[in-house]
């Protein structure tokens, strides 16, 4: 479908360029404007992971603050798309409530009207192309720097410069087009024209994925007399309606929270458009009345269009604001996550029940399959790609360069890839144990069942850890962020080491290999506790943050402990003779703690002596 649409757009544009050379200038203006918006988004993304997220979390505890944040951020960025998609990611990660997300979306719709005022009031009345050139020059110079901050500023300057150039070329193109072709001759009056041009405005916005760009086309066409004022009002309504399409697409890839917010955005825009269409005559009258109050000339249709765009969005906000909580409850009640088909077992088939040996082998392979799924989930829960963990790349560097914690719906993945397999393993083991088999086969099945359970518990601990990691993993407080970086490196390193052991020949992995991982886990736990005590002592963190850090250290330890326990069952030989030898060589909990304490850093040891 996307290829067909793209081909159609290319054909239409190619025909238009052939029929009217002036259309090239208009299309170039739109292209420059869109590229400017992309550059602006790239520039603002350079500041995400810090300031934007921090402000977002602190500005959504009240509905009016959420609306205000939506207005301010969209006015600043001139991109309701970026604000909407960032908001979806925060609602998906449960960092802000659905009601707060709805408030931001409403504010973003109202904030996007500032673009119409800037274009109508300044862009078409001043030679802004003269201001664009210096911005492009300075922007390119800043892009040549290695600093992420300077590059971000460079993209912002480039974005503004290309926006200005786009407006300039659009204006020139429509002025030239007016001499040879009058689109206003195709104006359609009455309700039919209102609905037709609303649909056109929506279609153009869906294609360009930007209501700002559509408004630029509308205002420049109106300024050149290529569309009538009445039809321009309908186009503006359509542009507003089409802007929800991008958010809807973003919601498709989000979890249930993001989908609910996307539905809310579509409902809000449809309601706003419906009210504007139903009250179009009253809205036009209100625009004329307010224009007289604030000094807009009767024939200044550009500013009157901007005023209309603001009024009907403001009316939508006023109508929906009292019912945001009710809308939130309805969305939670009726918009549910429909899970994809649960992952099916790969090895648990009835034929495997023929002998105890084949049954145990099938269960072992299925538990290994379960571990693979958990490995991927835990890696993503630590905001790292699995391929990074499975490679030789520096984990510390990968963690240090994280600018944003990946949104992850652990519940959804748990249901699909973990719980379904664990349930199948438990059911299969129950069926095997219902038959008469030797005791040593029963013991092996019990160990495998415990390994499967350990993997599930590691995933559940990941869910709790990821929730706080989403809040504090990119904290502006360096000690807090460094502590979470340490937790992430600890878990990623353990996943890598277990993965390397799993590539060894069968029987090559011993209990001592896994005991060394247990010692490393114990040492990391001691170091993290020492780090928390030092931060508390130096007053670098408040007590409630210290409590979260301690809890998350416990979750990290549990993840490591459960994964090592499962790996012992999967990797160490379970032959009776080998099993006795391994149990003799294996270290007990006291040995692990003693070795870890003996090898703890000198600074930590000194702190321990002082505490005594």
Residue 132 predicted with pLDDT over 70 = yes
- Rounded Cα distance between 184 and 128, Å, is 26
- Contacts with 484 (C-beta within 8 Å, 6 or more apart), sequence order: 469, 472, 473, 475, 552
What CA–CA distances, in Å, run from 150 to 66, 112, 586?
A: 29, 26, 55
Could you give the angle at which helices 80-92 and 256-278 cross, rounded to 10 degrees? 140
Which of 596, 599, 605, 598 minimizes the C-alpha distance to 517? 596
Q: Please return the burial class of 289, using the count of CB atoms within 10 Å of its CB with bins 0-12, 13-18 and 19+.
A: exposed
- Rounded Cα distance between 323 and 579, Å, is 65
Which pLDDT score is estimated for 37?
64
Residue 93 predicted with pLDDT over 70 = no
Which of 71, 82, 8, 9 minimizes the C-alpha distance to 39? 82
Residue 608 predicted with pLDDT over 50 = no
Cβ density class 113-133: b for 16+ within 10 Å, e for less: bbbbbbbbeebbeeebbeebe
The mean per-residue pLDDT over the stretch 75-96 comes to: 68
- Contacts with 529 (C-beta within 8 Å, 6 or more apart), sequence order: 550, 553
Which pLDDT score is estimated for 425?
93
Report yes or no: 106 and 268 within 8 Å, Cβ to Cβ.
yes
Mean residue pLDDT of the chain comes to 79
The mean per-residue pLDDT over the stretch 500-504 comes to: 86
Residue with tokens 């989908």: 259
For every residue of 132-146, DSSP letters joined together read HHHHHHHHHHHHTSS
Which pLDDT score is estimated for 112?
80
Report yes or no: 313 and 109 within 8 Å, Cβ to Cβ.
yes
- Confidence grade of residue 79 (pLDDT, cut at 50, 70, 90): low
CA angle in degrees (0–180, nearest 5) for 298-302-306: 105
- Confidence grade of residue 558 (pLDDT, cut at 50, 70, 90): very high
- Contacts with 430 (C-beta within 8 Å, 6 or more apart), sequence order: none
Report yes or no: 89 and 248 within 8 Å, Cβ to Cβ.
no
Max Cα-Cα span within the chain: 97
- Confidence grade of residue 186 (pLDDT, cut at 50, 70, 90): low
Residue 68 predicted with pLDDT over 50 = yes
Residue 435 backbone phi and psi in degrees, to 5? -100, 165
Per-residue pLDDT of 38-47, as tens digits, reads 776 677 666 5
Structure-token pair, residue 299: 């024939």
Residue 63 backbone phi and psi in degrees, to 5? -60, -45
- Confidence grade of residue 209 (pLDDT, cut at 50, 70, 90): low
Which of 462, 513, 456 minimizes the C-alpha distance to 488? 462
What CA–CA distances, in Å, run from 388 to 282, 378, 392, 481, 581?
A: 60, 13, 8, 20, 36
Per-residue pLDDT of 566-575, as tens digits, reads 998 888 876 6
Structure-token pair, residue 592: 């692990």
Which pLDDT score is estimated for 81?
65
Which pLDDT score is estimated for 433?
83
CA dihedral defined by 476, 477, 480, 483, rounded to 10 degrees?
80
Structure-token pair, residue 365: 């392979």
Per-residue pLDDT of 328-378, as tens digits, reads 899 888 887 565 566 788 888 776 777 788 888 889 889 999 999 999 999
Structure-token pair, residue 421: 């397999």
The mean per-residue pLDDT over the stretch 62-71 comes to: 86
Which pLDDT score is estimated for 579?
55
Quickly count: other Cβ atoms within 10 Å of residue 466's Cβ: 26
**DSSP label at 336?**
-
Out of 97-111, 397-411, 490-504, pick the least confident. 397-411
Residue 562 predicted with pLDDT over 90 = yes
Which pLDDT score is estimated for 610?
35
- Confidence grade of residue 90 (pLDDT, cut at 50, 70, 90): low
Structure-token pair, residue 187: 């104006």
Which of 593, 610, 612 minimizes the C-alpha distance to 602? 610
Residue 223 predicted with pLDDT over 80 = no
- Rounded Cα distance between 427 and 431, Å, is 6
Q: Which helix (H) or strand (E) holds 578?
A: helix 576-585
Which pLDDT score is estimated for 606?
40
Residue 219 predicted with pLDDT over 60 = yes
Residue predicted with more confidence, 358 or 171: 358
Report yes or no: 77 and 37 within 8 Å, Cβ to Cβ.
no
Q: End-to-end CA distance of the chain, in Å?
A: 71
Which pLDDT score is estimated for 559?
93
Report yes or no: 106 and 67 within 8 Å, Cβ to Cβ.
yes
- Rounded Cα distance between 266 and 243, Å, is 9
Which of 139, 559, 205 minimizes the C-alpha distance to 378? 559
**Which domains, ranges and CATH numbers included, belong to the chain?**
22-334 (no CATH), 350-611 (1.20.58)
- Rounded Cα distance between 58 and 324, Å, is 19
Residue 50 predicted with pLDDT over 50 = no
Mean pLDDT is highest, among 233-242, 353-362, 394-403, for: 233-242
Report yes or no: 555 and 460 within 8 Å, Cβ to Cβ.
no
Out of 114-118, 122-126, 354-358, pick the least confident. 122-126
Which pLDDT score is estimated for 577?
56
Reduced to 3 states (helix: H, G, I; strand: E, B; else coil), residue 128 is coil
- Contacts with 118 (C-beta within 8 Å, 6 or more apart), sequence order: none
Which pLDDT score is estimated for 556?
92
Residue 533 predicted with pLDDT over 90 = no
Structure-token pair, residue 249: 């697409």
Structure-token pair, residue 448: 């495998």
- Confidence grade of residue 53 (pLDDT, cut at 50, 70, 90): low
Q: Please return the burial class of 225, using the count of CB atoms within 10 Å of its CB with bins 0-12, 13-18 and 19+.
A: middle
Report yes or no: 33 and 162 within 8 Å, Cβ to Cβ.
yes
Residue 1 predicted with pLDDT over 80 = no
Which pLDDT score is estimated for 604?
46
The mean per-residue pLDDT over the stretch 289-317 comes to: 87
Residue 126 predicted with pLDDT over 60 = no
Report yes or no: 511 and 585 within 8 Å, Cβ to Cβ.
yes
The mean per-residue pLDDT over the stretch 166-189 comes to: 60
CA angle in degrees (0–180, nearest 5) for 295-297-300: 130
Per-residue pLDDT of 436-466, as tens digits, reads 787 888 888 999 999 999 999 999 999 888 8
- Contacts with 431 (C-beta within 8 Å, 6 or more apart), sequence order: 353
Single pTM value for the model: 0.54
């Amino acid at each position: 479908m996307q290829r067909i649409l793209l081909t159609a757009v290319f054909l239409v544009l190619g025909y238009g360029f052939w029929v009217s050379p002036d259309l090239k200038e208009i299309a170039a203006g739109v292209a420059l404007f869109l590229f400017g918006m992309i550059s602006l988004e790239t520039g603002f993304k350079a500041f995400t992971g810090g300031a934007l997220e921090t402000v977002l979390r602190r500005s959504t505890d009240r509905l009016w603050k959420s609306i205000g944040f939506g207005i301010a951020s969209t006015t600043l960025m001139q991109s309701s798309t970026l604000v909407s998609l960032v908001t979806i990611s925060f609602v998906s990660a449960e960092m802000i409530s659905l009601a707060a997300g709805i408030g931001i979306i409403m504010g973003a719709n109202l904030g996007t009207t500032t673009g119409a005022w800037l274009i109508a009031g300044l862009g078409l009345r001043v030679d802004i192309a003269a201001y664009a050139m210096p911005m492009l020059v300075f922007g390119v110079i800043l892009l040549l720097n290695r600093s992420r901050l300077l590059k971000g500023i460079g993209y912002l300057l480039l974005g503004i410069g290309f926006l200005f150039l786009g407006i300039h070329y659009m204006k020139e193109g429509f002025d030239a087009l007016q001499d040879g072709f009058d689109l206003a001759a195709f104006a359609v009056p009455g309700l039919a024209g209102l609905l037709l041009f609303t649909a056109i405005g929506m279609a153009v916005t869906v294609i360009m994925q930007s209501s700002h760009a559509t408004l630029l086309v509308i205002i420049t066409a109106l300024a050149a007399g290529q569309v009538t004022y009445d039809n321009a009002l309908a186009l503006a309504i359509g542009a507003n309606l089409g802007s929800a399409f991008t958010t809807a697409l973003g919601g498709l890839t989000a979890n249930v929270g993001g989908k609910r917010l996307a539905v809310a955005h579509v409902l809000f825009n449809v309601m706003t458009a419906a009210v504007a269409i139903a009250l179009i005559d009253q809205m036009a009258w209100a625009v004329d009345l307010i224009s007289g109050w604030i000094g807009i000339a009767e024939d200044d249709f550009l500013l009157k269009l901007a005023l209309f765009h603001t009024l009907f969005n403001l009316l939508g906000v006023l109508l929906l604001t009292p019912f945001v909580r009710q809308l939130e409850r309805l969305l939670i009640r009726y918009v549910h996550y429909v899970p994809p088909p649960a992952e099916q077992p790969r090895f648990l088939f009835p034929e495997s029940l023929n002998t105890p040996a084949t049954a145990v082998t099938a269960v072992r392979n299925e538990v290994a399959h379960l571990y693979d799924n958990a490995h991927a989930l835990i890696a993503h829960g630590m905001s790292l790609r699995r391929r990074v963990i499975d490679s030789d790349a520096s984990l510390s560097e990968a963690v240090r360069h994280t600018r944003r914690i990946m949104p992850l719906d652990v519940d959804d993945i748990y249901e699909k890839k973990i719980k379904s397999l664990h349930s199948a393993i438990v059911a299969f083991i129950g069926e095997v144990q219902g038959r008469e088999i030797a005791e040593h086969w029963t013991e092996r099945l019990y160990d495998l069942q415990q390994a499967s359970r350990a993997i599930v518990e590691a995933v559940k601990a990941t869910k709790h850890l990821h929730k706080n990691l989403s809040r504090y993993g990119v904290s502006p407080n360096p000690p807090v962020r460094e502590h979470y970086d340490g937790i992430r490196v600890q878990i990623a390193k353990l996943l890598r080491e277990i993965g390397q052991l799993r590539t060894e020949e069968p029987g090559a992995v011993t209990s001592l290999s896994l005991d060394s991982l247990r010692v490393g886990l114990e040492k990391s736990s001691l170091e993290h506790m020492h780090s928390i005590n030092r931060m508390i002592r130096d007053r670098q963190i408040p007590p409630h943050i210290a409590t979260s850090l301690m809890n998350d250290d416990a979750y990290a330890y549990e993840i490591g402990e459960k994964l090592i326990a499962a790996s012992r069952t999967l990797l160490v030989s379970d032959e009776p003779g080998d099993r006795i030898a391994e149990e003799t060589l294996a270290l007990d909990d006291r040995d692990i703690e003693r070795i870890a304490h003996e090898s703890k850093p000198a600074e930590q040891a000194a702190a321990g002596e002082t505490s005594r």
